[in-house]
Homo-oligomer: A and B are copies of this chain.
Amino acid sequence: MRTPLEESVLRRIRPREEVRAQILAIAERLMAAVDRSEVAQGMIVGSIARNTWLEGDRDLDIFMLFEPSLTRDELEERGLALARGIARDLGARFREKYAEHPYISLEFEGLDVDLVPCYRVTDPREIKSAVDRTPFHTRYISERIKGFEDDVLLFKQFAKAGGFYGSDQMTEGFAGYLCELLVLHYRGFSPLLQAASSWRRRTFIDIEGIAEKSFEDPLVVIDPVDPNRNVAASVSLTRKFEFVELARGYLKQPTISFFEPPPPNTMGSQEFEDAIRRRGTRLYGLRLSTPPYIPEIVVPQLRKSLRAVKGLLERSGFLVNRVDSAMGERYCLLLFELMVDHLPQVCRHVGPPVWEADNAAKFVSKYLEDTLSGPYIEEGLYIVEIPRRFTEARDLLASKECLNTGLGKHVKKSMEAGWEVFQDGECWSAEFSQFVSDFIRRSSPLVRIRRVENGFPPARDTSSDQSLN
């Protein structure tokens, strides 16, 4: 039962028949080229194979299935040779890329085509690398999707607009395959949203009833072709519940906004500076050169480094409100919003319990001569108040302390060559204007939608409340 709103959305996102025919023709042509080589067998995988791609998608994945008897080196060598040959025959621009093993990416007739070598295994338990699983996913979905294609399209569009589509490190959201499985499991777009509305902290879905291990992830969807794999492992707790609130919001009051990406809302430099002044917090940015690795490597390291530096700030007494990180082409930015960036000389240092006689004696003699207060005893522990090493957050963020605090490996390497510390308005730059704007205006997707619909400002603006100045 589709609503008129959903029908109108579908008319926009369902691929047009002529595009469909054109893409399938290209796919057939590429598969035929693979088959002709007689060393491998071609297979369309991904959303195009499953008939669940959205109008405008341009990604075509062709897998080249080789004999499992090949060694890994042989597979890589022959796979690349075959793919390069095909690309050259087509006269297409191509380049080599790397996932678990190398593959060829080429541009052809407006499509981004990946030619990926893998092993043709007959049982998913015998796969040798993650890509070998993909053909099984495609077969599993293709055999069951009939009648639910539109539901998948609606859900994918809902997920894209809501910012939770994609299993990459930046998004921490829902992969296409996960979207398909959820639609199949709940039998449609609306029933899926209904179910998600009452998801609790942890959700466990095992469509085929085959789970062989347990998972700690907020959302667990056992892969129907691999009982030891959680298809939703990438989904963060935040992303899961952003979906949940969107599902509730849509069921309560469905509007077109749920299918449209939020309008860009980037602050200019001056607007940004004013917003920070109104908040009264102190914003610090730590900018480093982007390490020469792909986002899947760098982004988790940025997050780790962010936590590490946040911990350093907190251990040093600076109250942190929020932090976030971004990876740009040239630079990465770690952002720290502090409640307090200046602290008094006095630093309270907790020593050993008095009943640990040796430690206690060492502590007292260490701090006998020169303290601001103490050592004194409080709740059985020695306490001493000594001069603080860093009374200014800026000095701490500019100090070598940052390097010794559990940074990600490549982030540390980059920072060893130097980094810059920005303060307040300085954190704004053209490269990161969207990121720093989103940081300041942070809201959940549903809140953003409701505000736009109600004509409320996305965040309190200059004209609002006098008491804030």
Contacts and interface: CB of A to CB of B under 8 A. Distances in A.
Given A371-B459, A375-B447, A380-B237, A346 B339 contact: yes
A444 B321 contact: no
A464 B337 CA distance: 36
A441 interface: yes
A402 B257 CA distance: 47
A265 interface: no
A238 B459 contact: no
Contact of A241 (B369, B380, B446): B380
Contact of A370 (B244, B380, B460): B460
Interface in A426-453: 440-444, 446-447, 450-451
A344 B355 contact: no
Nearest to A364: B447
Interface string A328-352: 0000000001011001111010000
Contacts of A459: 371-373
Contacts of A460: 370-372
A468 B281 contact: no
Nearest to A448: B376
Which of A278, A364, A440, A464 has the most chain B CB atoms inside 10 A of its CB?
Answer: A364
Contacts of A373: 440-443, 459
Given A345-B468, A370-B460, 13 more contacts: A198-B355, A199-B355, A201-B353, A237-B380, A238-B378, A238-B379, A248-B361, A280-B391, A340-B343, A364-B450, A374-B447, A375-B443, A375-B447
Contact of A376 (B237, B337, B339, B444): B444
A19 interface: no
30 contacts: A197-B357, A198-B357, A199-B355, A200-B355, A201-B353, A238-B379, A241-B354, A241-B355, A242-B377, A245-B364, A245-B377, A248-B361, A278-B345, A279-B372, A281-B345, A282-B344, A321-B348, A345-B468, A364-B444, A368-B447, A368-B454, A369-B454, A370-B464, A370-B465, A371-B459, A373-B441, A374-B444, A376-B442, A376-B444, A382-B444
A372 B317 contact: no
A69 interface: no
A456 interface: yes
A369 B317 contact: no
- A interface, how many residues as a size bin? 35 or more
A188 interface: no
Nearest to A237: B380
Given A280-B391, A344-B279, A357 B248 contact: yes
A467 interface: yes
A244 B371 CA distance: 22
A312 interface: no
B447 A376 contact: yes
Interface in A393-411: none
A380 B278 contact: no
A211 interface: no
Nearest to A446: B364
B238 A360 contact: no
A246 to B, nearest CB: 11
A119 to B, nearest CB: 40
A378 B442 CA distance: 11
Interface of A: 197-201, 218, 237-238, 240-242, 244-245, 248, 278-282, 317, 319, 321, 337, 339-340, 343-346, 348, 353-355, 357, 360-361, 364, 368-380, 382, 385, 387, 391, 440-444, 446-447, 450-451, 454, 456, 459-460, 464-465, 467-468
Contacts of A467: 387
A361 B251 CA distance: 13
Nearest to A200: B355
A387 B465 contact: yes
B241 A377 contact: yes
A309 B11 CA distance: 62
Contacts of A346: 279-281, 321, 337, 339
Contact of A450 (B348, B368, B380, B447): B368
Contacts of A360: 245
Contacts of A237: 379-380
Nearest to A373: B442
Contacts of A376: 442-444, 447
A456 B377 contact: no
